[in-house]
């Protein structure tokens, strides 16, 4: 890495997450899920937790605690009038686990956000004459998007550990890519 790049990264180190710093939040872009109110959704979206093996249950508990520590999730009491609760599961790849919310039912009731997503071919064509190309990955990018209070109530998950509520945008919700692209276009305008 060039010394010039290192200096730029050091100058803007507050823009980067690390193990010592909490995950950032994108301000002014609250994620809002709009449901089709012509269809009654509440009874359908009150689903029980999926059965889990002891290994999966242990992994779920670990992930839930990690998300709570990162302030991406909070525990919700059973008496808080939970209208929507989505079961979650654990996916394994190369002996590593990740938590997956089953938002398929919620997504069927969500009004589509048809914000345009760039096509990879067009992006590569735009970059084809560039002399230098670099990329910096955004740590837990979707999780840096804060949810509106209404949407938090729709993104409650249930496991054998209880009910939790997402405070930030999770993967798997219908309009997450559109919302994220809109936010990127606001931060990095093309005109």
State the DSSP string of 67-126: HHHTTSEEEE-TTS----BEEEEEEEETTEEEEEE--HHHHHHBPP-------HHHHHHH
- For residue 36 the two structure tokens come to 């089709």
Answer whether residue 90 is part of any domain.
yes
Answer whether residue 71 is part of any domain.
yes
Computed over every residue of the chain, the mean pLDDT equals 82
Domain holding 36: CATH number? 3.10.10.10
129 phi, psi to nearest 5 deg: -100, 5
Residues 6+ apart with CB under 8 A from 175: 33, 110, 112, 113
Answer whether residue 151 is part of any domain.
yes
Answer whether residue 70 is part of any domain.
yes
Confidence grade of residue 1 (pLDDT, cut at 50, 70, 90): low
Answer whether residue 172 is part of any domain.
yes
Answer whether residue 8 is part of any domain.
no
Distances from the Cα of 179 to the Cαs of 99, 101, 118, 132, 157, in angstroms? 21, 18, 13, 29, 21
Question: What's the mean pLDDT in 57-63?
Answer: 92
Q: Give the model confidence (pLDDT) of 80-103 as tens digits.
A: 666 677 888 888 888 898 888 888
21 phi, psi to nearest 5 deg: -110, 145
Structural domain containing residue 105 = 25-187
Question: Dihedral angle at the C-alpha atoms of 191, 146, 107, 56, nearest 10 degrees?
Answer: 130
Answer whether residue 1 is part of any domain.
no
The structural domain count of the chain equals: 1
Confidence grade of residue 75 (pLDDT, cut at 50, 70, 90): very high
């Amino acid at each position: 890495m060039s010394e010039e790049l290192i200096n730029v990264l050091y100058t803007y180190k507050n823009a980067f997450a690390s193990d010592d710093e909490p995950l950032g939040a994108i301000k002014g872009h609250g994620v809002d899920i709009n449901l089709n109110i012509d269809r009654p959704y509440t009874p359908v979206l009150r689903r029980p937790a999926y059965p889990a093996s002891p290994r999966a249950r242990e992994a779920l508990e670990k992930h839930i605690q990690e998300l709570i520590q990162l302030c991406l999730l909070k525990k919700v009491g059973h008496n808080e009038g939970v209208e929507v609760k989505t079961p979650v599961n654990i996916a394994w790849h190369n002996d590593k686990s990740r938590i997956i919310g089953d938002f398929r039912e919620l997504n069927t009731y969500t009004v589509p956000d048809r914000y345009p997503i760039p096509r990879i071919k067009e992006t590569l064509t735009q970059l084809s004459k560039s002399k230098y190309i670099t990329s910096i990955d955004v740590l837990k990018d979707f999780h840096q998007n804060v949810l509106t209070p209404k949407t938090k109530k729709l993104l409650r998950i249930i496991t054998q550990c209880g009910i939790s509520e997402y405070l930030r945008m999770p993967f798997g919700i219908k309009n997450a890519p559109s919302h994220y692209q809109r936010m990127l276009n606001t931060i990095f305008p093309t005109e």
